[in-house]
Amino acid sequence: MNTIESKTKIIKSGNGMNSEKKTSRLSIPKTYKLYINGKFPRTESGRYYKLHDKEGNVIANICRASRKDFRDAVAAARKALSEWAKKSAYNRSQILYRIAETLEGRKMQLIESLMKEGTTASEAETEFNLSVDRLVYYAGWCDKYHQVFSSVNPTEGSYFNFSFPEPTGVVSIVAPEHNGLLGLISVMAPCIAGGNTCIVLVSQQHPLTAIDFAEVIHASDVPGGVISILTGFKNELLSHFASHMDVNAIVYTHHEKEELKKMEEQASVNVKRAITWNKFNWKDSSAQNPYLIMDLQEIKTTWHPVGI
């Protein structure tokens, strides 16, 4: 705790560069970067925005991701898709569980980050616990939703005919603005549990935990490119998220009507699935269910004649 406290103080007093209390050790402020293709690059644009605490002090310089960063992430997601979708459901389940395990081990760090952004200690702990539990919840679904939502179809002719869900593909996600950690995990988990790969634009005002979480992902056997995490401005990036021709679906979680309309219009360029998840209270258990997985699935039906 001591190191974190002193680090905070240092940042407050001018980005950690000039002053230091003689009594404490000089701490190492973290550089918050993007997470693309299993790596932590700065935005190629070189741009940033300042994140402030309640008192108006600068907490961090956050990368302001560009269209190019997004396109790189899409290329990585497309490349990662076949490997991720092909993994056995059991394996995907274990990887999601592994994310939960790794996250649990970083409890102090994540709670500190949540508090830095202004969350109270008790709220931060609640959000953290729900976040881990949500990952465990979706880890469990990885090898079950197929069974619940598949069918063997009794066709009139002599055919063996069955239908089952397959991942929609590359998904761009605009994560909720509130609950920086829980919101991100609640929308990302059903997406990757279903074998999709994704690019997530995280909360603009609460991005710290998302970057912490990227480190968790990085340490949890998730192949590079399966989840890319971008920080930046929604009003700048949303149209690219919606109109990219190699993205198969977009998930939108905000409430701005005009923005939603524009997103849906742009999604039509390639018949992109435009999914809106903005009616959930992410802290509520009703915000987790397999129908969210199914929103990002396609049903494939296969026929074969029965005979000799």
Interacting residues toward other proteins by CB under 8 A:
148, 151, 153-157, 159, 161, 163, 166, 168-169, 248, 257-258, 260-265, 267-271, 273-274, 279, 289-291, 298-305
Pick between residue 3 and residue 302 the one whose CB is nearest to other proteins: 302
**Whether the Cβ atoms of residue 278 and residue 255 lie closer than 8 Å to each other:** yes
Q: Where are the beta strands (DSSP E) in 140-248?
A: 151-152, 159-167, 170-174, 197-201, 227-230
d(CA 189, CA 296): 11
Pick between residue 22 and residue 257 the one whose CB is nearest to other proteins: 257
Tell the smallest beta-carbon distance from residue 153 to other proteins (Å).
Answer: 4
Place of tokens 């915000």: 287
Tell the smallest beta-carbon distance from residue 173 to other proteins (Å).
Answer: 18
Pick between residue 116 and residue 272 the one whose CB is nearest to other proteins: 272
Q: Which distant-in-sequence residues (6+ apart) come within 8 Å of 238 by Cβ?
A: 174, 201, 259, 262, 263
Pick between residue 5 and residue 246 the one whose CB is nearest to other proteins: 246
Instruction: Indicate the helix (H) or strand (E) that contains 76.
Output: helix 67-86
Tell the smallest beta-carbon distance from residue 284 to other proteins (Å).
Answer: 14
Tell the smallest beta-carbon distance from residue 101 to other proteins (Å).
Answer: 27
Pick between residue 43 and residue 288 the one whose CB is nearest to other proteins: 288
Tell the smallest beta-carbon distance from residue 100 to other proteins (Å).
Answer: 22
How far lies 184's CA from each of 55, 137, 190, 210, in Å? Answer: 26, 15, 11, 7
